[in-house]
Amino acid sequence: MPPDILDRLRAICRGLPEAYEEPAWIGVRWRIRKRTVAHVYVPDVQRYPEYAAHVVDGEPPTVMTFRVPADDLAGLTSSGFPFFRALWGDNVAAVILGDHTDWTEIAELVTDSYCAMAPKFLAARMTE
C-alpha cells in the first residue's frame, strides 16, 4: 500500500466522528460502528483480472471503494477513469488512486460515504 495514499486518507478520515481504521482482509478500511465507509487496497490482478486494465508500468492499481447514493452512482462512474462501479453492492463505487487523484474530491466522496453509513446524529455533525 503506498504510504502517501494512506497518509492522505488517514488525514481525511480523522475528521469523521467516531470513525476508526482497521486492517481488512486486503488493505485497510475505515468504519463507523461496523459499517465500512472506505476501503483501500491493491488487488491481485491474477486473481481479479477485471483490475488488469488499470495496471500501470506493471504495477497493480491502488483502489478505494466507498458508498455513493444509488441515484448518483451512474453519474459518477459513467465518465470512466478513475471511477468505476465496484464488483459488489448496489451503491458502491471504486476509484483508482495515484498521482492524478483530486484529493479534494476524494475528501468529499469519503465524507458523503460516511454520512450514508453513520447514525443520523453523527452524520448531522458533518453539516454543523
Report the domain count for the chain. Answer: 1
Has residue 128 got a pLDDT over 70?
no
Q: pTM higher than 0.85 for the full model?
A: yes
pLDDT tens-digit map of 11-26: 999 999 999 999 999 9
What percent of the chain clears pLDDT 70, i.e. is strictly above it? 99
Contact yes or no for 62/2 (Cβ under 8 A):
yes
Q: How far is residue 56's CA from residue 60's CA, in Å, rounded to a whole number?
A: 7
pLDDT tens-digit map of 32-68: 999 999 999 999 888 888 888 888 778 899 999 999 9
Bond preceding residue 82 cis, omega within 30 of 0: yes
Q: How far is residue 41's CA from residue 37's CA, in Å, rounded to a whole number?
A: 14
Q: CA-based angle 70:107:55, to the nearest 5?
A: 80
Range of the domain at 22: 3-125
Residue 52's pLDDT is what?
81
- Using DSSP's 3-state secondary structure scheme, residue 36 falls into strand
Grid cell of 83 as nine digits? 471511477
Radius of gyration of the chain, Cα coordinates, nearest whole angstrom: 14
pLDDT tens-digit map of 79-95: 888 999 988 888 999 99
**CATH number for the domain including 87?**
3.90.1150.30
